A = this chain, B = another copy of it.
Amino acid sequence: MTELPYPAVYSEGTLVAKLSPRVPRPPLSCVGCKTCATVEWSVLDRAQLQIVNSAKITRRYAAGEAVYDQGSPCLGLHCIETGTLAIRQTDAEGNSKMLRAVAAGQTLGYADYFAGKTYRASAYCLTPATVCHIPDEALQQAIVASPALGLAFLSHCAEDLQSADLMGMQQALSPVRTRVARMLLRFKDLHGVSDDDGGITVSLPMTWQEAAELVGARAETVSRAVHALEQDDVIRIQGRKVFIQDLDLLLDEVEQTGV
């Protein structure tokens, strides 16, 4: 497994034991969980949340470790507490593609859960991660007890569907350079850190090879596109770190040149 240049310190949300890697975790609770306080769960009242909480299983994963595999039965949901995961799909011919990267606070695999009971894609960790698993039974119970939860997932799913459509559109209409710029902007929102000098540093949680899959292009093509952006002083590259000096320049990249 490759060693990622990331400190094993995650400070957001509930504290995660960094000093004692052997101790799984301090008592985490969905009730107080900030990272998982997404719209879905927020509709539950305290009692319901308590039930979900007591049923959930929290686990740490190493970078590269699989959380679930395409084709395997889908027996609940996953919530990412810390870290970033990748969703990857392989088709019948063996072609594989990363569909998306999903970050802390997001619920994972819910589409597979509600669509059928089999995973259509695999999830694995890009960084070390802490992931909660909410088993089928507890989820069923919560949904029956709180119809609003189902509606919250519906709303979430509908939004994801819209953005999938939008993505497909952008993919079809823009060249790789633009798609790369768009990807960088997305990760800026997830992992961006402001510098002293007003710039932004984005640490990509993946190899450029994986980034290439994400934008639907070859690694070589992405490499060239990235260096072209650097050449034009839009960004600066250092390993998997991307420095954005002038955000406007990057934004110009995605605002089509047209008229």
Contact = CB atoms under 8 A, between A and B. Distances in A.
Interface in A79-112: 89, 91-95, 97, 99, 110-112
A162 B112 CA distance: 8
B161 A111 contact: yes
B172 A110 contact: no
Contact of A150 (B150, B256, B259): B150
A233 interface: no
Given A153-B154, A154-B150, A111 B173 contact: no
Contact of A164 (B114, B154, B161): B161
A161 B95 contact: no
A57 interface: no
Contact of A99 (B115, B169, B216): B169
A248 interface: no
A37 to B, nearest CB: 20
Contacts of A112: 158, 162
Given A162-B120, A165-B121, A168-B168, A97 B155 contact: no
B256 A162 contact: no
A251 interface: no
A45 B16 CA distance: 45
A131 to B, nearest CB: 20
Interface residues on A, range: 35 or more
A169 B114 contact: no
A194 interface: no
A162 B173 CA distance: 22
Interface in A106-161: 110-116, 120-121, 143-144, 147, 150-151, 153-155, 157-161
Given A171-B171, A172-B216, A216-B172, A162 B97 contact: no
A164 B114 CA distance: 15
A255 B161 contact: no
Given A115-B162, A150-B154, A167-B168, 5 more contacts: A91-B166, A97-B172, A111-B158, A143-B151, A154-B154
27 contacts: A89-B166, A91-B166, A91-B170, A91-B173, A92-B255, A93-B258, A94-B259, A95-B169, A95-B258, A97-B169, A110-B158, A111-B158, A111-B161, A111-B162, A112-B158, A112-B162, A113-B158, A114-B151, A114-B154, A115-B162, A150-B150, A150-B151, A154-B154, A161-B161, A164-B164, A167-B168, A173-B216
